[in-house]
Structure 1
Amino acid sequence: MRTDWSSFKARVSNRLSRHFLATPLAWSGKEPMVSLTFDDIPDSAARVGAPMLEEYGARGTFYVSGSLLGQRSDHWRGADADDIIALRADGHEIACHTYSHRLTSDLDAAALAEEIELNRRFLEGLDSSIRLENFAHPYGVASVTRKSQLAGTFRSSRSILPGVNHGNIDLQFLRATPLVNQHLDDAGIECVFDETIKTGGWLIFYSHDVAATPSPYGCTPRLMRRVLDAAVQRKLPIVSVAEALRRADSAEIRAA
């Protein structure tokens, strides 16, 4: 159990991280896009969520903690090694959490580097073609001191601070909207998509399990399909985080 002091420290660090831009990027004049991401990952994210994305010709980003694979928690069973291999073969992005799912704010530089390397070796051991380009802060909690370190290793790091990424953004603190039944309804979906169109921004969703009776951190297939349909209706590409960043780079090159 986390102590009151460590919880307080994590909250303060996360709040400060919103204002310290480790990797600033001007997200303007770019094509609006949508990304669906899944954390940890539950087996239903791989076996239900990924096939739903594929129905729409889309691909997602799956942030994996190697130590959680195949493990049962209070809410779901973790995906197994075969799920990771299948996701990669089907064109989805395998991305990085810390190996043991520890908060970056609890780690010094050496410990964070070790966690990342453990995860990298583990996942590349499953499929040598996996390249970890992007990171998500476990529990959505970022660290001011670790953001610069992550910037030297990953193209981006995703938070769980709601909002559309537009204007001057920080690639090491990407905003993300919960694709979670307890936090998102049809009106909320319309609102975030309207903002994405208005700002020409990048809308990232995050979730965990995809189930008829989801955990407090997951979504039903109906809610996920509602998001996918909203993107299609607005003719927005649904791409992985890695692909969104590649498209943003290409837009900058064309504009130069």
Structure 2
Amino acid sequence: MISFSFDDFPESALRTGGAILKHFGLAGTYYASLGLMGKDTATGRIFGPADLGVVCEQGHELGCHTFSHCHAWDTATRAFEEAIIDNRSALHDLLPGVEFQTFSYPISGPRPLTKLRAAEHFLCCRGGGQKFNVGTTDLNNLSAYFLEKTRHRIELVKDLIDHNRQALGWLIFATHDISDNPTPYGCVPGFFEEVVRYAVASGANILPVVEALKALRSARM
């Protein structure tokens, strides 16, 4: 199982990254901090209101990233949970009837109590770790592999996909912007497309995070 996710949801993640996924008949997960909407940030220009509807129309998943992109470790647990609730309220105002089902911790891994509180709001929560998920897995802190960390080493990513296939794991890729001139937190379109192409060729089932979770749960029943 493989999932592709985008933290912060810069415009290019949908317009360029989403177009690449669509070319292969795939969908991804876009983790949005609605307080950043329309702003220029370290990961590029962030999505606008219309982009939220496009995500849903194209079959992608819209995930939560707190309202104000709160640091998962440095932010007090109560304030962090309030930012989750604020993000959900903002989503209801913009897209009535749409719900966040999964979550991505901004910037770092969470405090233990923060993880406990976040778990009350979502089916699963995703962190980092640069590895795939296999065996007994913490659904409140799923591992992910950030593509920008090896964006000049495609062979490392391909090896990871191969190992994930052999282990029958769940590999969640993450990044931010997809651009010809990416920020330090993103990658170029050619690299991203090569990763997607190799993932497809591996025979993996490629789904947004929430759909992958549901598929894995069904397979165990």
Find the counterpart in structure 1 of residue 67 from structure 2. 99
Q: Deviation per CA, 1:9-47, whole angstroms, max 9, x where unpaired?
A: xxxxxxxxxxxxxxxxxxxxxxxx110000111110111
Alignment partner of 1:203 is 2:178: no
Displacement, 1:187?
Answer: 1.0
Kept in 1: contact 2:28–2:207 (CA 8 A): yes
The structural deviation recorded for 1:159 is 0.9
Q: 2:100 — aligned with what?
A: 132
Where does residue 49 of structure 2 map in the other structure? 81
Aligned alpha-carbon RMSD (Å): 1.4
User: Can you give the 5+ residue segments of structure 2 that lack an aligned partner in the other structure?
Assistant: none
After TM superposition, give the deviation of residue 112 of structure 1 in Å.
Answer: 2.4
Secondary structure, counterpart of 2:45 in structure 1:
coil
Q: Give the alignment's TM-score, normalised by structure 2.
A: 0.95
**CA 85–173 in structure 1, closer or farther in 2 if over 3 Å, else same:** same
Q: Of residues 126, 130, 140 in structure 2, which corresponds to 1:162?
A: 130
Q: CA deviation at 1:151?
A: 1.4
CA–CA distance in 1 between the matches of 2:20 and 2:122? Answer: 27
- Normalised TM-score (structure 1): 0.82
Deviation at 1:117, TM superposition (A): 1.2
| Equivalence for 2:88 | 120
Residue segments in structure 1 that go unaligned for 5+ positions in a row: 1-32
Structure 2 match to 1:16: none
**1:63 Cα shift?**
0.5
**SS class of match (2:143):** coil
Contact 1:164/1:195 (8 A) holds in 2: no
Structure 1 residues 215, 42: CA separation in 2 closer, same or farther (over 3 Å shift)? same
State the alpha-carbon separation in 2 of the partners of residues 213 and 181 from structure 1: 15
Distance 2:88 2:183 in 1: 28
Choose which of 28, 40, 43 in structure 2 pairs with 1:72.
40
Distance 1:221 1:121, change over 3 A: same
Percent identical among aligned pairs is 33
User: Contact between 1:96 and 1:119, CA under 8 Å: does it hold in 2?
Assistant: yes
Kept in 2, the 8 Å contact 1:140–1:159? The answer is: yes
Tell me how far 1:104 sits from its aligned partner.
3.0
Read off the aligned partner of 1:35 and give its amino acid letter: S
Moved over 6 A (4+): none
Contact 1:96 1:116 in 2 (8 A): yes
Larger CA Rg, structure 1 vs 2: 1
Equivalent residue number for residue 22 of structure 1 = none
* SS of residue matched to 2:107: helix
**What residue number does 1:56 align with?**
24
- The 3-state SS of whatever aligns with 1:231 is helix
